Amino acid sequence: MPSPTERRLATAVLVIGTGGSGLRAAIQLAERGTDVIVVGKRPSADAHTTLAAGGINAALATMDPDDSWQQHAADTLKESYFLADPNTVRIVTEGAARGIADLERWGMPFAREADGRISQRYFGAHTFRRTAFAGDYTGLEIQRTLVNRARQLDVPIIDTMYVTSILTRDGVVFGAYGFDVGDGTRYVVHADAVILAAGGHTRIWRRTSSRRDENTGDAFRLAVTAGARIRDPELVQFHPSGLLEPEDAAGTLVSEAARGEGGILRNQLGERFMQRYDPVRMELSTRDRVALAAYTEIKQGRGTPDGGVWLDVSHLPRETIMQRLPRVYQTLIELQMLDITTTPIEIAPTAHYSMGGVWVRPEDHGTEVAGLYAIGEAASGLHGANRLGGNSLIELLVYGRIAGDAAADYSADLDAQPRSATAVAEARDEVDQVLAADGPENVRSLQRAVRDTMTEHAGVVRDETGLKAGLARLDDIEAAEKDIGVHPDLAGFQDMAHAFDLRSSLVAAHATMEAALERRETRGCHNRSDFPDLDETLQVNLVWSGPGQIVHEPVAETPVEIAALVREVSTAGKLVE
């Protein structure tokens, strides 16, 4: 029977996730007059989107008149090592200018040239300058703009709700179940369609640019238990420069601008080690190559005592650091009381971005579950084996709009909505069982065990022996998870949220390790020491639907006119992502 504190809500479309992609979808729905509710476990003003610093891509040609969406598409496909879906790439690059125009219309404060044009700069392996920005707070400004627009449209946002289950009947969505992380109130939300915008899975590594309790793989678990599949979970981008200390902030990013402004990487012996890995570009090499270089130095015993390498900007003029790297300076003062104008920074590679995610159709980001859509870092298709810097923010806008339209149309066309009292009861029972858990195992210690396992066995470099050992360790953690203790207190029900985070992390970790084991090659971000070469027969997407269930899906052909634009991009004077 339902609890007396179980609230029932109804809407045409439910959006799960309060970040940029979820808000953009909600705005589209509200502007069309379709009922929508946005829910999430994190305050909308502090969603993960706010951390994106560099910029947002669109071939506006405000700086380089020869730029085009076709060239943007070619650059994206090349950087993906041709694992990105060409149709998805076309839709994002062709729709990017409209995404920027939407933000402008809603008051986004883009940096501009003296004549009023939106300023654009080089970012990553782009042929032309096509990254628009707002200082080094682009993601924060985008999130603010979207939150303000959602408020203008009176979009209901419940950003204290943890979704535990997407409700389905006979493979058709009819809503979601969850609880309030503050007071434990249960929610049954009936909805014609659900848009999943719950982020990626990079928090399952020990060092990560994601903060505590975000990007824990929620989207993976919610999608798979609803009947959807996961594509390319092994393809995770590791950022070269994450902090090692303090422990509760391990993985916090040191902006790549530090290398772009002339920062030098050294090992414990004082060697400028990029000479060994990319003597031409040195510290301006690609993310995946710099991360691999640092990992190799540490693994071969030339790292710092704490397991990192040194990033040194102290040789730069103090004025340069204070003017060009103010955020880096402030971050190190706040976290470590370290003055980067005089002292090098200890860093190591950190898990940064999930390039794989829920399997979706390119035309509308619908899944194989009727009425279920996935967008943002929760989805897959655009990035392949290496994300082109600046593409993630534009993806939010383009597919937020498209999925919003698709969900609105789906809802409008429904003759009736099938519901299932059994499905609701099962979701309720799952929460009851977690709430009643009174075993000896500590959730936080098991979360740490998952992160340690992923770091040791599925980090920057993987091999068969390590991955198999990692999978065995995950099985042990999963067995221990059945004996956890959950103890809500006056501070709220976060302990129960952590228990569900752990379940999500285990699903994401299994998917990642099994796909990494299956991809017997080195391609982009995925490094197999036992298979160091790229294998042309593995130019496929790996699609995971549960333990031991992986299929190879061919990637669609790149259109001839786009393939003709694939070229080697000059890296002179550019920091390459």
Q: Which of 47, 45, 51 is nearest to 17 (CA)?
A: 47
Q: Which of 382, 412, 408, 386 is nearest to 395 (CA)?
A: 382
* Strand 527-528 with 461-462, pairing: parallel
- Expressed in percent and rounded to 5, the helix, strand and coil fractions of the chain are 40, 20, 40
d(CA 215, CA 234) in angstroms, rounded, equals: 15
d(CA 184, CA 432) in angstroms, rounded, equals: 11
Q: Helix, strand, or coil here: 269?
A: coil
| Residue-by-residue DSSP string for 194-227 | EEE-----GGGSSSBSSPTTSSSSHHHHHHHHHT
d(CA 202, CA 210) in angstroms, rounded, equals: 7
Q: Specify which residues 370 forms β-bridges with.
A: 172
* Strand 6-16 with 36-39, pairing: parallel
d(CA 94, CA 198) in angstroms, rounded, equals: 25
Q: Any residues with CB less than 8 A from the CB of 498 and at least 6 apart, and which?
A: 213, 443, 444, 447
- Quick check: bond before 246 cis, omega within 30? yes
Question: Are the beta carbons of 290 and 254 closer than 8 angstroms?
Answer: no
Query: What residues are labeled active site?
Result: 239, 259
In the numeric block, which tokens belong to residue 200?
């990626």
| Residue-by-residue DSSP string for 326-383 | HHHHHHHHHHH---TTTS-EEEEEEEEEE--EE---TTT-B-SSBTEEE-GGGB-SS-
